[in-house]
Structure 1
Amino acid sequence: MPAFDLPPAELEKHRPAPDEPADFDAFWRATLGESGRTEPVVSVRPVDNGLRLVDTWDVTFRGFAGDPVRAWYTRPAGDPRPRPAVVEYAGYGRGRGLPHERLTWAAAGYAHLLMDNRGQGDQYGSGGDTPDPHAGAPGGPGPVVRGLLDPHDYHYRRLITDAVRAVAALRSLPGVDRDRVAAVGNSQGGGLALAVAGLVPDLAAAVVSAPLLCGILRALDLTDAGPYGEIATYLSVHRGAEAAARRTLSYVEGVSFARRAAAPAHFGVGLRDTVCPPSGAYAAYNRYGELTGRSPLREIHAYPFNQHEGGDAVHVRRQLSWLADVLAP
């Protein structure tokens, strides 16, 4: 796939005018307020992960509407001292899988919480363990179109709330330095990490690559791949639903969350990515922190010949180096 989005010089300056509802902040304040009245963690149970160098616990915490959300908590074995911590969000259609699948952050010395995606886990990976009991509103079968006609019913209202609550859950676990917690994710996970950066004012860092839900309306005009293609397919059948869908999507637009974020941020993007077009990532990056009255530390790495995989292991190495500096005592 050749480059199909804006040329690199234009991407670096891409700052589309904000298109967000007037009650964006009130919507999220009310949503998080409804789910944040109780202690987040329900249970923490040690599991045999088959490994000697890291320990893992099966965590259940309260997410949207108090629903139980599952997660793996993993950290270097035999050292209970408080550590900087990472909460990681998985990609679209993936669940938390098995406890030995995601070891990079724990191997780097972090306390690591991998959140399950409610109502997902059936498209790739090793499955998930968190149902979505609120998935009955009108919309298509895929997560990105569940409840698409009303922002209060939308799947991502629930998933973003879970992601915020995961930070609170991680901070309440033993062996975590509460002041040094980062949100990390790729693709859908990157979109969730960016939303968390905009909704959790004291987050220590955000590590975002190929973020979904950024520049959503432009992405719908550019690509039929991946989750955006599911939205287009739904609207091709429900021909009168576009206005309602646009309104719902405006409440989960990643650029709006980025504008409110204050944590240092590290971005990665493949310039041939048709799943999450690069103009969305650049729009979020270029407007990052603009409503905070500050200029947060941030950097972006582009991979001109890569698609949705972006910089892959090369980029992970950059993430590790950057986060070690940002979260240093």
Structure 2
Amino acid sequence: MPTIDMPLKELQAYTGINPKPADFDAYWERALNEMRQIDAAIELVPSAFQTPQAECFDLYFTGVKGARVHAKYVRPRHASEPQPAVIQFHGYTGSAGDWTERLAYASLGFSVFAMDCRGQGGKSEDSGSVKGNTHHGHIIRGLDDEPDKLLFRDIFLDTAQLAGIALGMPEVDPNRVYAMGGSQGGALTIACAALEPRVAKLAPVFPFLSDYRRVWDMDLDKDAYHELRTFFRHFDPQHEREEEIFTKLGYIDIQHLANRIQGEVLMGVGLMDTICPPSSQFAAYNKITSKKRLEIFPDFGHEGLPGLNDKVMQFFLKE
């Protein structure tokens, strides 16, 4: 069969090559402690969009560095007991999307939270100021500053904070809080469940933000990863800082967070994916130690994977 990466047998054993910083665990414990000290100042604002079966709210909370983060929140009307919840994460540069996209799960009795990533296409604030380059992309934002200034650190923390908010809602069953998303949303799904291990199930699809060095070595630092190439061209044209740069990126490499996940995982991957190459995805999947299942689509790339959304819904519905 055609291939753009390793043979499947090698993918199933691959564990990534991007460096992991020596203080990685301390870095994330410090970040989580910072997040836990925040007064989230949660605000629910009824939306103009409502349906007979579901209540719709704009949910706002204060995240790290004082940013007000926005999520769409849809919950079933007239629920007599706590219900399951699903947290949804969008693709790179996008937004939470339309209210109607939340209604399928709400119709099945789920509360649905859909987060806008700070600084991207929705209503969340990007409150950070950093030294150095901020050109064209969030992966490199903060790369010339202290590691705590990496923007994806803050976005990863936003996912965990939103999960904690969902877990605390009286209408939500804390034993049935799930997460899902594709591409950037797949990466944030993994980060969310790693940093908030009470997430019981997660369904990441072709996750982004994994094994940056492998992406570079495959010459696939284009499309979603293009900012890596432009960063080197503008700020390190002779790659004198290459090891330093990839090591710093290791703080926001989801493969290094994956072993923290305790929830059950269903992950989808297309073996012809040239946007987020399969090996970068397997690097994260192979580090997950909780119960997991991989749905493989040999002829598909970074696109809709036929039938996968149905499998994810059945996965979340199964007790």
TM > 0.5 between the two? yes
**Secondary structure of the equivalent of 2:42?**
strand
Partner of 1:132: 126
**Could you tell me which amino acid in structure 2 is paired with residue 321 of structure 1?**
Q
Within 5 Å, give how 1:156-175 maps onto structure 2: 156-175=152-171
Q: State the Cα deviation string for residues 291-320 of structure 1 (Å, max 9, x = none).
A: xxxxx21000111111111515x1011111
**Could you tell me which amino acid in structure 2 is paired with residue 307 of structure 1?**
G
User: Quick check: 1:197–1:261 contact (8 Å CA) kept in 2?
Assistant: yes
Per mean C-alpha deviation after superposition, the further-off stretch among 150-159 and 139-148 is 139-148
**Secondary structure of the equivalent of 1:100?**
helix
Name the CA shift for 1:135/1:311 in 2 (closer, same or farther; >3 Å).
farther
Q: Which runs of 5+ in 2 are unaligned?
A: none
**Could you tell me which amino acid in structure 2 is paired with residue 110 of structure 1?**
F
**Secondary structure of the equivalent of 1:267?**
strand
State the number of aligned residues.
312
Partner of 1:191: 187
**Secondary structure of the equivalent of 2:275?**
coil
2:319 equivalent to 1:323: no
Q: CA RMSD in A?
A: 1.9
Name the CA shift for 1:38/1:134 in 2 (closer, same or farther; >3 Å).
closer
**Could you tell me which amino acid in structure 2 is paired with residue 200 of structure 1?**
E
Task: Among all aligned residue pairs of Structure 1 and Structure 2, give the percentage whose two residues are the same amino acid.
Answer: 32
Q: State the Cα deviation string for residues 69-126 of structure 1 (Å, max 9, x = none).
A: 01111122332531111111111001223433443332332111101110001xxxxx
Per mean C-alpha deviation after superposition, the further-off stretch among 18-27 and 95-104 is 95-104
Normalising by structure 2, report the TM-score: 0.91
Partner of 2:265: 265
Partner of 1:113: 113
Partner of 2:229: 232
Partner of 1:141: 136
Separation in structure 2 between the aligned mates of residue 136 and residue 19 of structure 1, nearest angstrom:
23
2:49 equivalent to 1:55: no
Q: State the Cα deviation string for residues 206-225 of structure 1 (Å, max 9, x = none).
A: 21111011222101222133
Normalising by structure 1, report the TM-score: 0.88
Partner of 2:6: 6
**Secondary structure of the equivalent of 1:143?**
coil
Per mean C-alpha deviation after superposition, the further-off stretch among 84-93 and 29-38 is 29-38
Q: Which runs of 5+ in 1 are unaligned?
A: 122-127, 290-295
